[in-house]
Each structure stands twice: as C-alpha cells, then as structure tokens.
Amino acid sequence: MSTVTPNAYGNWLYRLLQSKTIFELLTLKEGDIIFLTNSSFILLNMHGILSTVKKHAQHKSFTSALSPPNTLLHYKANSSICYHKVQALTNSYILVFHSISDLSDEFIRNKIRLMELKSLKLHIMYLDNLVVLFTQNTIKKRVVVFLLVLAKQIGLFTDNHIIMNITLSHSYIAEALGTTRVSITRSINNLNKKFLVIKRQKIIILNPIALADSALC
C-alpha cells in the first residue's frame, strides 16, 4: 500500500488538494487490505471497487458492502464486537478523512455529503441483494448470487457472457459468504464445468441467464 496524488485538475479534487483540509490519500493495489477499527475515519473511494467484510469477535464474517467509485465508507466499529475488513477488488485509491464536519470548505463538504447520500442509496440496494444471497439454501447458490451481484457492479456485458477483470481467491469468497474455503472450491469446480472460465485476473461468466436458472430456479 502506498500514497499517490491523483491528477485532479479541473474538478473539485483539485480544490480539495489546494485547500487546508487534512486528509490522507492512499493507493490500494488489487488484493490489498485495510482494517477499519476506528469509527471516526471516513473513506471516500475515488477509483476502483472495494469490498467490505464485517468480522465478528466470534470469528463469523459476511460481506456487508461493495463500493464502486465515488462512494463513501463509514462504519461504526467496536473491537470487542466487530470490525470491518476492506479489500480492493481492483486497483483503487481512496481519500481518508477524520470527519466531514471538520471540512472548512463548504463546497467540498457539500460535495462529500452528496456522495454520502449516494452511498446510502447504493448500500440499501445492496442489502436487498444480501437478503437474496443469504436466503439461498446451498453454498453453490450463494456463490452464483455473489458472482452475479459482483458482475452487476464491475462486469463488462457482451452478447453472451460477462467479463470481470478481477482475481478472487477462494479464501476471500469463503470469508465474504461466511463459509469454508473447501465448500467454495467444491462449488466453483462444479460451476466451472459449464458456466465459468477463470483465468489470471479475469472471470468470465458464460451465459449468465443459464447460470442463474440452473442454480436459483
């Protein structure tokens, strides 16, 4: 993980960079992980796709959000109960603030507030997806829903298939779905026969309609 200064001329980011606002700018390479254990921090995802997994003290976990560009992450944390693990599914960079209310520039503060509202709307929509995901009665069905939800966020749709330019480890998917790596490997191997092509840094869903029908109908 390293820091970077983006080319922000001609937009509100340039105004932010020129202001006296205190923030940290981080670049996350695909697969990089950060842990949110302090509720005061606010993360603004400027580029890439971030996945947030909620980790409980009892070692349980589940995916709680997928964050596309221009969305805000701000979660309450209590280390004795739970914390949040944020992983970059693609190369990403994020702005880290201590508090929106501390921003002195009203224009910047209002811009971030609008992103906060957008993020809330997306999160509510994603919660609907979680309901569908965790009501599935087999791990295979959960994997299918998870891949389709992810494809909706970052997939490139063609006439017959969906391409996602990411790498997902079986361990990550297991953690996101609250199950074991062995169960995920078994399910993906089964899907690979007809519906998936997994290459380095690329997942191709062959005939997504047939995939959904085979697992969910």
Between CA 54 and CA 43 the distance in angstroms is 16
Instruction: Tokens for 201, please give them.
Output: 């840094």
Nearest residue to 62 (alpha-carbon basis) of 167, 153, 176: 176
Q: What is the model's pTM?
A: 0.73
What confidence tens digit (pLDDT) does each residue in 90-104 have?
A: 889 888 887 766 677
Angle at 81 between CA 153 and CA 1, to 5 degrees: 50
At 17, is the pLDDT very low, low, confident or very high (cuts 50, 70, 90)? confident
Q: Report whether 34 contacts 24 (CB < 8 A).
A: no
List of residues 6+ apart from 58 with CB closer than 8 A: none
What residues does each domain of the chain span?
Answer: 2-132, 136-216
Q: What's the chain's length in residues? A: 217
Phi, psi of 69 (to 5 degrees): -60, 155
Rg (CA), the chain: 18
Percent of the chain with pLDDT over 70: 81
For 193, the 3-state DSSP assignment is: coil
pLDDT at 2 exceeding the cut of 70? no
The CATH number assigned to the domain with range 136-216 reads 1.10.10.10
What confidence tens digit (pLDDT) does each residue in 134-182 have?
A: 788 889 888 988 888 888 878 888 888 999 888 888 888 888 888 899 9
The CATH class that applies to domain 2-132 reads: mainly beta
Q: Report whether 178 contacts 60 (CB < 8 A).
A: yes
